């Protein structure tokens, strides 16, 4: 290692001489020389000659905070400077950037931190070890004397920046990563370190796919079948082509595409288009027809998903029983950024710009549809304006549509296919509609002895490439999760499933099966507690005696919320606790009722997700999941009349607004367990906690979502 002044002088001269010379001035065979001036010790981190450390993010950023989380892991082990460390989204490269919990490159199931925790830390530690060893050799000191802090190495009086030290790393040097002991963490677990995406997103400079406008871009919108499963018979584009700015109209297998010099022109053109559809194989039922079929199916036999003891016999002999029938609508994800992507097919290559959630699938699908193959398909991932699950699906539907649009135009120009909000609300890939019946029985002593859940819904995974893995004997685990795998100890427990069919496409929606099962389970649990004559918290505590981590969040939420304490007149308190994605969350809700009008006042949440990497991001995710869950539980639904979606845009698919948002407190259990996810688990307990609070305040059990359809009026 050199004395700072000497080294500085050397580097200044090198930098002034230009990039090519910089490489030449470095020791022969240095890593940076071999990598075009940058030090790339592994696929997850790069150091530029100016010392800038850049983290390569294998997960996309839809707001869930992974760009901060993954960067924290590397910066921690590398002792990089948080202020200056940069982020960059990884290219599509399944082998290098695989989500080890999913087996593909992609994000979902609240797995980003869980699968990256060791990998990214090791990447950071490996990079640092190479810098330390190189600097020690250069300075003729023992590596053990070298310490690192905020991107600077020190040994005695000697210091070197990472930018200086990287030039000394020899090509082929072997890293020796040693992970920090948690007691040495300075970033992981810090209550609040600034998000890496905050500045860009508060100055309008963050690039979303909607903002990608390459040279020569053509804007496009697609007219899709108004009923799911309909196909184009013919279309008349005379009026559409007459719209100023419309440049072309083409038919694709997914619908009719109108191209324009801007999005608005394309949209005007689409409105002037007339298309004749074939609805032979389309969904033509109304929601009431579907509901009748679901109810009839529930009256018949189901496929067993869990069968402990003898629920039927225990119910027959129970001292008291409760029965409940819960209705859950289809729901659209409606991420704030309407779906869109830009695709260019030229010279045997395909370039995609996308808020890409499922790189492996998208690369394969776009490569196949474009005809250039996955190996010639590149994806540039940009910020995604929300997803909630929508941007990942086995068809890569919206990227494939953009590819078809580019292929149909056929002139090599990039095509940006934009969905309107109406396209999004009516576009399917919904959280499936569900009807869930519960019967529960308690003993004369007030113990929960029997539970029978009967569920009717459309499977998300059946018929997909992952179907074989998760559909067992006809039971899609995601249709029954949250009940069939409940942590409550119930001696006689039966769960059965009816698989319903519809051409309406369905998809995972923030928290997947838990988005409905958590509600049915936790509201029915309150009904059972009431039948048993027991306090809802105390009743659950007994049933969770074998699950100490879940019991602990329940106790924490109850204590922090002041469970059992006084409330103003007309207020009610409710509790719910639910494990999903291996994260435990309990919530206590408080509502007020004034002249029959409900206001959700406060939610107190307790979460256990193992090691809390970024506590402030975790709090934000829980706040957001509560809001997202409550908005849909209060007012949102997708319904059909004669196969057509009744809703179209935010005026009738009414999102949660600021005036609906309760005060939220999030408490995080201190834990040394391996981290689990937080994007989704905050959602399932929110709506049932509110429903239970509404019951406490006004004696009304809310059995149908959205709650406004069950007679609840919100302020």
Distance CA 588, CA 573 (A): 7
Helix axes 514-532, 686-698, angle to 10 degrees: 30
The first and second tokens of residue 235, run together, are 């279309």
In the bound state with other proteins, the residue whose beta carbon lies nearer, of 359 and 619, is: 619
In angstroms, what is the minimal distance from the CB of 425 to other proteins? 10
The first and second tokens of residue 236, run together, are 């008349």
Q: Count of residues for the chain? A: 715
Question: What residue 594 binds from ligand FES, other proteins, none (CB within 5 to 8 A, per partner kind)?
Answer: none
In the bound state with other proteins, the residue whose beta carbon lies nearer, of 146 and 331, is: 331
- Please pick, from the candidates 41, 49, 51, 63, the single residue that binds ligand FES as defined by CB under 6 A: 63
In the bound state with ligand FES, the residue whose beta carbon lies nearer, of 69 and 386, is: 386
Q: By CB under 6 A, is residue 631 in contact with ligand FES?
A: no
Owner of token pair 């050199």: 2
In angstroms, what is the minimal distance from the CB of 455 to other proteins? 28
- Please pick, from the candidates 118, 298, 336, 669, the single residue that binds ligand FES as defined by CB under 6 A: 336
In angstroms, what is the minimal distance from the CB of 675 to other proteins? 19
Question: What residue 672 binds from ligand FES, other proteins, none (CB within 5 to 8 A, per partner kind)?
Answer: none
In angstroms, what is the minimal distance from the CB of 18 to other proteins? 32
Task: Say if CB 162 and CB 51 are below 8 A apart.
Answer: yes
In the chain, the N- to C-terminal Cα span, in Å, equals 67
In angstroms, what is the minimal distance from the CB of 12 to ligand FES? 43
In the bound state with ligand FES, the residue whose beta carbon lies nearer, of 135 and 626, is: 626
In angstroms, what is the minimal distance from the CB of 597 to ligand FES? 27
- DSSP class of residue 616 equals H
Question: What residue 610 binds from other proteins, ligand FES, none (CB within 5 to 8 A, per partner kind)?
Answer: none
Question: What residue 177 binds from ligand FES, other proteins, none (CB within 5 to 8 A, per partner kind)?
Answer: none
Sign of the CA dihedral running 605, 606, 607, 612: positive
Select the residue whose beta carbon is closest to ligand FES and give its number.
336
Helix axes 536-543, 514-532, angle to 10 degrees: 110
Q: What string of H, E and C letters represents the secondary structure of 536-574?
A: HHHHHHHHCCCCHHHHHHHHHHHHHHCCCCCCCCCEEEE
In the bound state with other proteins, the residue whose beta carbon lies nearer, of 247 and 374, is: 247
In the bound state with other proteins, the residue whose beta carbon lies nearer, of 174 and 659, is: 659
Sign of the CA dihedral running 211, 213, 214, 215: negative
In angstroms, what is the minimal distance from the CB of 645 to other proteins? 16
The first and second tokens of residue 644, run together, are 């057509």
Candidates 504, 594, 19; CA nearest to 281 is 504
Q: Which residues bind other proteins (CB under 8 A)?
A: 61-65, 192, 194-195, 197-208, 210-211, 213, 219, 244-245, 261-264, 334-338, 383-388, 418, 420-421, 616-617, 620-621, 623-628, 631, 649-651, 655-659, 661, 663-664
Instruction: Decide: helix, strand or coil at residue 407.
Output: helix
Question: What residue 661 binds from other proteins, ligand FES, none (CB within 5 to 8 A, per partner kind)?
Answer: other proteins
What is the phi/psi pair of residue 522, to 5°?
-80, -30
- Strand pairing partners for 594? 597
Residue 604: exposure state from Cβ atoms within 10 A (0-12, 13-18, ≥19): buried
In angstroms, what is the minimal distance from the CB of 421 to other proteins? 4
Distance CA 3, CA 576 (A): 61
Instruction: Decide: helix, strand or coil at residue 46.
Output: strand
Distance CA 412, CA 467 (A): 36
Distance CA 525, CA 536 (A): 8
Candidates 116, 143, 113, 114; CA nearest to 128 is 143
In angstroms, what is the minimal distance from the CB of 312 to other proteins? 42
Question: What residue 388 binds from ligand FES, other proteins, none (CB within 5 to 8 A, per partner kind)?
Answer: other proteins
In the bound state with other proteins, the residue whose beta carbon lies nearer, of 137 and 616, is: 616
Distance CA 221, CA 371 (A): 22
In angstroms, what is the minimal distance from the CB of 198 to other proteins? 5
In the bound state with other proteins, the residue whose beta carbon lies nearer, of 12 and 663, is: 663
In the bound state with ligand FES, the residue whose beta carbon lies nearer, of 68 and 129, is: 68
Distance CA 45, CA 559 (A): 43
- Please pick, from the candidates 51, 124, 386, 631, the single residue that binds ligand FES as defined by CB under 6 A: 386
In the bound state with other proteins, the residue whose beta carbon lies nearer, of 72 and 454, is: 72
The first and second tokens of residue 491, run together, are 């001696």
Question: What residue 245 binds from other proteins, ligand FES, none (CB within 5 to 8 A, per partner kind)?
Answer: other proteins
In the bound state with other proteins, the residue whose beta carbon lies nearer, of 336 and 368, is: 336
- Residues found near ligand FES in the complex (CB under 6 A): 63, 336, 386
């Amino acid at each position: 290692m050199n004395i700072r002044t000497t080294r500085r002088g050397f580097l200044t001269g090198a930098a002034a001489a230009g990039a090519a010379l910089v490489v030449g001035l470095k020791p022969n065979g240095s890593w940076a020389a071999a990598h075009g001036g940058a030090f790339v010790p592994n696929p997850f981190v790069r150091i530029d000659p100016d010392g800038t450390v850049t983290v390569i993010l294998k997960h996309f950023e839809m707001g869930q905070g992974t760009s901060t989380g993954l960067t924290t892991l590397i910066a921690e082990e590398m002792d990089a400077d948080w202020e200056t460390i940069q982020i960059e989204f990884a290219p599509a490269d399944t082998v290098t950037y695989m989500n080890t919990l999913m087996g593909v490159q992609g994000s979902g199931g609240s797995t980003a931190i869980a699968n990256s925790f060791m990998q990214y830390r090791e990447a950071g530690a490996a990079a640092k070890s190479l810098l330390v060893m190189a600097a020690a050799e250069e300075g003729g000191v023992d590596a053990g004397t070298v310490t690192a802090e905020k991107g600077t190495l020190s040994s005695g009086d000697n210091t070197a920046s990472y930018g200086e030290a990287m030039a000394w790393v020899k090509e082929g040097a072997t890293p020796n990563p040693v992970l920090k002991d948690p007691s040495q963490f300075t970033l992981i677990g810090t209550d609040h370190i600034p998000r890496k995406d905050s500045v860009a997103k508060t100055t309008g400079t963050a690039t979303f796919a909607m903002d990608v406008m390459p040279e020569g871009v053509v804007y496009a919108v697609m007219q899709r079948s108004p009923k799911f499963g309909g196909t184009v018979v013919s279309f008349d584009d005379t009026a559409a082509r007459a719209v100023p700015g419309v440049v072309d109209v083409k038919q694709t297998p997914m619908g009719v595409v109108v191209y324009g010099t801007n999005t608005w022109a394309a949209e005007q053109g689409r409105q002037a288009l007339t298309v004749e559809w074939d609805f032979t194989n389309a969904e033509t039922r109304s929601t009431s027809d579907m509901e009748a079929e679901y109810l009839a199916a529930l009256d018949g036999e189901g496929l067993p998903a869990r069968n402990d003891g003898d629920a039927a016999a225990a119910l027959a002999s129970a001292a008291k029983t409760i029965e409940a029938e819960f209705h859950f609508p289809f729901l659209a994800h409606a991420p704030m950024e309407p779906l869109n992507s830009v695709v260019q097919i030229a010279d045997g290559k395909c370039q995609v710009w996308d808020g890409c959630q499922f790189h492996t699938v998208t690369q394969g699908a776009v490569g196949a549809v474009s005809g250039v193959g996955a190996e010639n398909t590149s994806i540039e991932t940009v910020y995604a304006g929300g997803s909630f699950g929508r941007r990942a699906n086995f068809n890569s539907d919206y990227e494939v549509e953009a590819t078809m649009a580019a292929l149909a135009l056929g002139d090599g120009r990039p095509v940006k296919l934009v969905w309107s909000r109406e396209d999004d609300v009516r576009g399917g890939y919904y959280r499936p509609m569900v009807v869930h019946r519960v019967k529960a029985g308690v003993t004369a002593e007030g113990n929960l002895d029997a539970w029978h859940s009967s569920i009717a819904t459309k499977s998300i995974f059946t018929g997909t490439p992952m179907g074989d893995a998760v559909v067992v004997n006809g039971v899609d685990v995601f249709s029954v999760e949250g009940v069939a795998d409940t942590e409550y100890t119930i001696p006689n427990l039966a769960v059965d499933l009816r698989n319903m069919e519809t051409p309406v496409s369905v998809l995972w929606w923030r928290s997947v099966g838990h988005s409905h099962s958590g509600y049915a389970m936790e509201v029915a649990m309150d009904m059972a507690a009431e039948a048993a004559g027991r306090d809802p918290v105390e009743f659950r505590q007994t049933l969770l005696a074998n699950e100490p981590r879940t019991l602990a969040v329940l106790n924490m939420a109850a204590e922090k919320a002041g469970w059992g304490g006084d409330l103003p007149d007309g207020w009610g308190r409710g509790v719910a606790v639910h494990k999903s994605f291996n994260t435990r969350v309990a919530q206590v809700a408080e509502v007020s009722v004034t002249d029959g009008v409900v206001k959700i006042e406060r939610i107190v949440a307790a979460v256990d997700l193992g090691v809390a990497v970024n506590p402030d991001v975790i709090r934000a995710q829980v706040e957001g999941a509560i809001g997202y869950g409550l908005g849909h539980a209060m007012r949102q639904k997708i319904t059909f009349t004669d196969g057509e979606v009744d809703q179209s845009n935010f005026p009738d698919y009414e999102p949660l607004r600021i005036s609906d948002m309760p005060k939220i407190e999030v408490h995080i259990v201190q834990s040394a367990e391996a981290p689990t996810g937080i994007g989704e688990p905050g959602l399932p307990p929110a709506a049932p906690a509110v429903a239970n609070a509404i019951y406490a305040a006004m004696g009304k059990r809310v059995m149908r979502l959205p709650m406004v359809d069950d007679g609840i009026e919100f302020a």
